[in-house]
Structure 1
Amino acid sequence: MNDKQESVQLNVLPHNVLAEKMVLAGIIANPHLIHKIINILHSEVFLDNNYRKIYNLIINSYKRINNIDFLTIINILTQQNLLHYIGKEEEIQELGNTLVNNNYFEEYTYLLLDKFFRRCIIDHSNKLLELVTNELISLETILNKFEQFFFDINKNKPISNNQLQITHLLNNFILNTESKNKQISEHFINSGFKDFDILTQGFQKSDLIIIASRPSMGKTALGLSITKNIAQHHNLCAAFFSLEMPSEQLIYRMISSESRISLFKLRSGSFTSNEWKIIEQTIYKLSKLNLYIDDNPKITISKLRSKIYQLLQNNNKLSIIIIDYLQLIESENKTSNRNLELSIITRSLKIIAREFNLAIIVLSQLSRSVESRNNKRPILSDLRESGCITKLNLIYGTSSNTKIQDLHIKKPQLIYCYNNNIIVLSSINKLIHSGKKIIYQIITESGYYIEATSNHKLKTCKGWKTIRNISINDQILLVHKYRIQNMTNNYYINNISELDYTFYQAFPESIKNIHLIDQDYCYDIEMSNINNFVANQIIIHNSIEQDADLVCMLYREDYYNNSNIQPLDVSITEVSILKHRNGPTGKFELLFEPQFVHFKEI
C-alpha cells in the first residue's frame, strides 16, 4: 500500500489513530499484556501501516523470545527504525503505564476492534456489490458468498470482556446446573434409546457425533430412528440430510418402522382395510413431527451451512442435524487426496456444530479393510483416514522421549503437541496398533527424519500435507528444545535466585529426501484434545475422529455368520461407543428388525 492509498483509507474508513498508538504504547510499556491480547488483536486491526508493522514485530518477537521485556521491544523497534512513530522511550513508558494504571487499556482495545469490525462490513459490502453487478455469476453463488461474508464479519466481531471472565463462566455453570436439577436443560438431547442415553447422558449441543459401520449394518435406520425420537418425544426440531437415499425411500422406511407393516408390503401397495387405517394413522402422526428431510445428493460444507442457517431462521427449535453419509459430502477445493478432503470436512462440521450450537450426527462408511480380518468387529482405527508411524519413532513427553511402541497408556501421560504456533502439553487417550504397513522415510536438511505411511500428514509451512503429497520443495515444522539457566529476575520471581527453564519452539526446515523403506509394524496415538503430536521432533497429525466428540460403531455378528439365505426376522446389533470426549465408553445392544427397518431396545 503506498502513502497516497493509506492517506485515502485514513480519511474514509472508520479508524482511531490515537487509540492505535495508545494500545501499542500500553503493550510496549507492559509486555506482560501480550499474552492477554495475542488471540484477540491481529495486525489488520491497525489501519495505520506503520502501527501494523510495529504490532507484527512485537508479536513475532514475543513468539520467538517468550519472556520479552520493555528494553528488548525498544531495541527491536529502534533497529527497524520504527520507534519514532510511537515516541521516545520516556513518553512511551509514561503513556503506556498511565493507560494501564487507569484501567483504560481494555477500553482502547475494544475501540480498535469496533473500528475494525466496521471496516470489515464496508469491505464485504463492496465485494458483494461487485458480485451482484456481475450477471455472469449465478444467484446461488452470490447468496452463498453473502452468507459467508456474514459469518466472516461475525467471527471478527468484538467480544465483551465479561464473556471471557471466569466469574461469567462460573455463573453460566451454576445456571446450567440448576437447569439440569430442574430437568429442563436444553443442552442435552436424548436419542430415545435408554442404554445409549445412559452412556452418553444425551447428545450435547455443539458436539460432532460419528456413527460408523460397514454397509448393511443399519446406519441409516438408526439415524432415522434417532431423528424421529428426538422430534417426537422432545418437542425439538431435527433435520436429516440424505446424500445417498431419496426422500421417498426414507418416508417408506419411516412409515414401515412406525406402522409395523413390512417395507416390502408398503412398496407392493397391497394392503388390507385394517392396514390402510394403520398407515393413515401413522402418516398423521409423522406429519406432526418437527422434522426436515433434504435429499440433495450434491452438498458441500458451504451449502450445508447455508441450509442450516435458513432452517434456523424458520425454526429456532432446530437442535440436531443428521447427515447420511460423510464420504458423500463434496469438497469445495478438489484435490487428488480424498483423505485430506475428508479431514477438512470433519473439521468444518465440528466448526458448524459450535457455530450454530447444534449437535451434528454424521454417518460414516468404514473401509473394506474390516472384511479382510478374521475378527470383523470394527475398531476405532477403521475410521481413521490418516496414516501411522513406525514402532521406533520417539514421542516427546514431560519425563523422557519414548519409542511409540513402549508407551504405557494405563498411567496418565503428557506429550508435546502443536497448538496455535505454540508447543504445549496434552494427554494421551489411546495407543493404536495398526499392523504391518508400507513405510516411507522423510529426511530433512539437518538430518531429522520420520518413518510413516504415505497417508500420514505432517505440518508444513502451507498447512497439513500427507507424505504422498509432500515434495522436496516443501518445508516441514520441527521442534527444538531450549534451556535458560542461571537467570535472576526478581520482578517476576520472588525469593528465587536461580531459574532453570526449558521450553520448545517450532521452526521450518526443508526436506532433503523422501524414499520408500519397507513394511513395518505401525502405531498411532489418539489425543485427548489436540489432533497432532511431536515424533522425532517433527509435528505430525493423527485421525479424523479427533474432530468428533463421540464415535459409535455398529456391528451385527449374524450378518457374517448367518448361513441361511433368508434374512433373520430379528438381529442383535452391537453399538460400541469407542470414543467419548465428555464421558465413558462402552457398548450396548439393540434389536434390529430388517423387515420394518426398525431398531428397538432389548
Structure 2
Amino acid sequence: MYLVENPEDEPSPHDDDQAGLAGSPRHDLLAEQAVLGGMMFDRDSVGDVCGALTARDYYRPAHEAIHNAIVRLFTRGEPTTAIAVTAELTRTGDLARAGGPHYIHTCVETATGLGTPAYYAAEVHDQAVLRRLVEAGQRIAAMGAAGEGDVAEIVDAAQSELFTVADERVEEDMLLVADTMSDYLDIVEARKDNQGKLIGVPTGFADLDALTGGLRPGQMIVIAARPAMGKSTLALDMARSAAVKHGIATVIFSLEMDRNEIHDRLLSAEARVALHHLRHGNMTDDDWTAVARRMPDITAAPLFIDTSSNLTGMDIRTKSRRLAQKHKLGLVVVDYLQLMNSGGSKAENRQLEVSDISRGLKSLAKELGVPVIALSQLNRGPEQRQDKIPVVSDLRESGSIEQDADMVILLHREDAYDKESPRAGEADLIVGKHRNGPTATITLGAQLHYSRFVDLARDE
C-alpha cells in the first residue's frame, strides 16, 4: 500500500523566503502538472522540457521529485510512463513526497489535450524567474538595510544577485556522478566528432589553437612579458581574431592605451598599413585603399573598447555583465593587471591587492562563462639571466596570478635585447602553464611595424 499525500498541502521551499508578501509566491500549478504529465505521456518531449527549465524551477517539491525521476528514467533509456515513474520513486523512497501514484496519474490526466509540454515549461520557468527576482530583491534590501562592509562591495554583491536572475543561470545543487555521467559521455562523443575543430575562442595563431583548442569558457589566460615586448599587441591580435574574423563579441579594457592608440593598432594590423604612417599622418594612396578595403569588416565587428581611467575590478565585472546580457559576450581582455586597483577596501599591501584583482577576474570568467585574458608585467628576473628567457615565477607582485590562471603565456623576443640577433623578427610564446593540456613554446613572426604577430608560415 502506498502512502498518498496531497502535494497541495506541502510547504514550498520558497515559502520562508517569501514571508511577508501578500499571498503565495508566483507559480502556475496547472502548467507544472501539464509539463510533468506531458513528459510521462510523450517520452520524446523530455529533452525539450529539460532545455527550457531545471528541476529547481518547480514551485512544488512534489513536482521537483517527479521531474527528477522522469529525467533519471530518460537518461537510462527507459520508459517515462506514469507506472515507470511510480516504480522509480518507490525505488528511491520519494513516492510519498511526490504525492503517491494517484497524484502522478492526475498529472498525466491534466496534460491530456493541453498541447506540447515545452510550451508550459516556458511558463513554469518564467514564474520561477519572477520568484527569484522577488527573493533577490529581498536579499538586496537586507544588504542595504544592514549596511555592513564596504559600500562598493555591497553594490557589487547586489549587481551579482540581479545578474544571476537576469541571466537565468541559477547554479544547480550538488549532483551525483550517476546523474551527470550520461551528459558527460555525450560531450566526450562530441569531442571525437569535432577532432581538428576548435572548441574555444580562436586566437588567430594556428599552433597555439592546436595546442589549446582555443580559449575555453571560464578560463583566465595570463599573457605576461617585460615592457615593450608586445603583450598589448598580442592581446589585440587575439581580440581581432575573435571579433573581426569570427564575429565573437569581445571587450577590451585598457588602462595603458587610449582609444585612438587602440584604433591605430587595430587599423594597422587589419589593413597592413605601417603604424608610423597612421600615427604621423603620412598615409599614401595605397594606405587609404587598404584602409577602405578593411573598414567594412572592422566597423561590423562586435568589438567594444573601454579606456576609462582608474578602472577597478568591480567596474570591469559590472560592465562585462551588462555586455553579457545585451551582446552574448564571448571574450574579455584586460590590459593590464598591475595598473588596476581593487576598488574595495584598502588592502594591506600591493601584493594582496593584485591577488584580489586576479581572483576577481578568474571569478568573472567562471560567472560569465567566457575566457578572460589578463595582461601582466614580469619582474626583472629575465634581465638577470644570460638567456633573458622568462619563466612563470617572474610574474610580478603576486604569486596568486600564477595560481589563479588556467594558462600563462610568456612573450619573449630575442631582438628586444640584441638587435643583431639571428632571430630578429621572431617572437616566442612560452606556454609555461596549461591547466588543461601540455606546455610548449610556439614561435611567431613579429610584424611590429604593422602592430601584429603572425604565424611564421602565413603569407598575406
Q: Determine whether 1:167 maps to 2:188.
A: no
Match 1:123 to one of 109, 114, 138: 138
Instruction: Give the conservation status (yes or no) of the 8 Å contact 1:188–1:202.
Output: yes
Match 1:599 to one of 449, 453, 460: 453
Which structure features the higher share of strand residues? 1
Instruction: Give the conservation status (yes or no) of the 8 Å contact 1:237–1:315.
Output: yes
Structure 2 residue aligned with 1:586: 440
Question: Cα deviation per residue 1:508-527 (whole Å; 9 max; x = unaligned)?
Answer: xxxxxxxxxxxxxxxxxxxx
Moved more, 366-375 or 581-590: 366-375
CA distance in 1, matches of 2:426, 2:183: 45
CA distance in 2, matches of 1:127, 1:385: 37
Where do 5+ consecutive residues of structure 2 fail to align? 1-15, 22-89, 99-128
CA distance in 2, matches of 1:184, 1:198: 8
Instruction: Give the conservation status (yes or no) of the 8 Å contact 1:131–1:142.
Output: no
Structure 1 residue aligned with 2:334: 323
Say if 1:124 and 1:234 are closer, same or farther in 2 by CA, change over 3 A.
same
Which structure features the higher share of helix residues? 2
CA distance in 2, matches of 1:282, 1:545: 38
Question: Residues 281-320 of structure 1 correspond to what in structure 2 (within 5 A)?
Answer: 281-316=293-328, 318-320=329-331
* Secondary structure, aligned partner of 2:446: strand
User: C-alpha displacement at 1:592, in angstroms?
Assistant: 0.7
User: C-alpha displacement at 1:184, in angstroms?
Assistant: 11
Question: Cα deviation per residue 1:308-341 (whole Å; 9 max; x = unaligned)?
Answer: 111112112x211111111112112222311111
Question: Cα deviation per residue 1:258-284 (whole Å; 9 max; x = unaligned)?
Answer: 222211111222323332222222222
Q: Determine whether 1:236 maps to 2:93.
A: no
User: C-alpha displacement at 1:155, in angstroms?
Assistant: 11
CA distance in 2, matches of 1:370, 1:597: 24
* Secondary structure, aligned partner of 2:376: strand
Instruction: Give the conservation status (yes or no) of the 8 Å contact 1:217–1:554.
Output: yes
CA distance in 1, matches of 2:92, 2:444: 63
Match 2:362 to one of 327, 350, 365: 350
Instruction: Give the conservation status (yes or no) of the 8 Å contact 1:209–1:549.
Output: yes
Question: Cα deviation per residue 1:426-464 (whole Å; 9 max; x = unaligned)?
Answer: xxxxxxxxxxxxxxxxxxxxxxxxxxxxxxxxxxxxxxx
User: C-alpha displacement at 1:142, in angstroms?
Assistant: 9.0
Structure 1 residue aligned with 2:93: 102
User: C-alpha displacement at 1:594, in angstroms?
Assistant: 2.1
CA distance in 1, matches of 2:97, 2:425: 62
Structure 2 residue aligned with 1:412: none
Where do 5+ consecutive residues of structure 1 fail to align? 1-8, 15-98, 108-113, 387-541
Moved more, 362-371 or 351-360: 362-371
Question: Residues 437-476 of structure 1 correspond to what in structure 2 (within 5 A)?
Answer: none
CA distance in 1, matches of 2:391, 2:345: 30
Percentage of identical aligned residues: 31
CA distance in 2, matches of 1:122, 1:168: 32
Instruction: Give the conservation status (yes or no) of the 8 Å contact 2:275–2:451.
Output: yes
User: C-alpha displacement at 1:227, in angstroms?
Assistant: 0.8
Could you tell me which amino acid in structure 2 is paired with residue 588 of structure 1?
I
Question: Cα deviation per residue 1:214-268 (whole Å; 9 max; x = unaligned)?
Answer: 0111101111111111223333221111111011100001111122221111122
* Secondary structure, aligned partner of 2:172: coil
CA distance in 2, matches of 1:10, 1:220: 48
Query: Number of paired residues?
Result: 340
Structure 2 residue aligned with 1:575: 429
Question: Residues 73-112 of structure 1 correspond to what in structure 2 (within 5 A)?
Answer: 102-103=93-94
Question: Cα deviation per residue 1:487-524 (whole Å; 9 max; x = unaligned)?
Answer: xxxxxxxxxxxxxxxxxxxxxxxxxxxxxxxxxxxxxx
CA distance in 1, matches of 2:135, 2:168: 11
Instruction: Give the conservation status (yes or no) of the 8 Å contact 1:212–1:365.
Output: yes
Structure 1 residue aligned with 2:415: 558
Say if 1:300 and 1:371 are closer, same or farther in 2 by CA, change over 3 A.
same
Q: CA RMSD in A?
A: 3.9
Structure 2 residue aligned with 1:71: none
User: C-alpha displacement at 1:156, in angstroms?
Assistant: 12
Instruction: Give the conservation status (yes or no) of the 8 Å contact 1:550–1:580.
Output: yes
Say if 1:145 and 1:207 are closer, same or farther in 2 by CA, change over 3 A.
closer
Structure 2 residue aligned with 1:424: none
* Secondary structure, aligned partner of 1:188: coil
User: C-alpha displacement at 1:562, in angstroms?
Assistant: 1.8
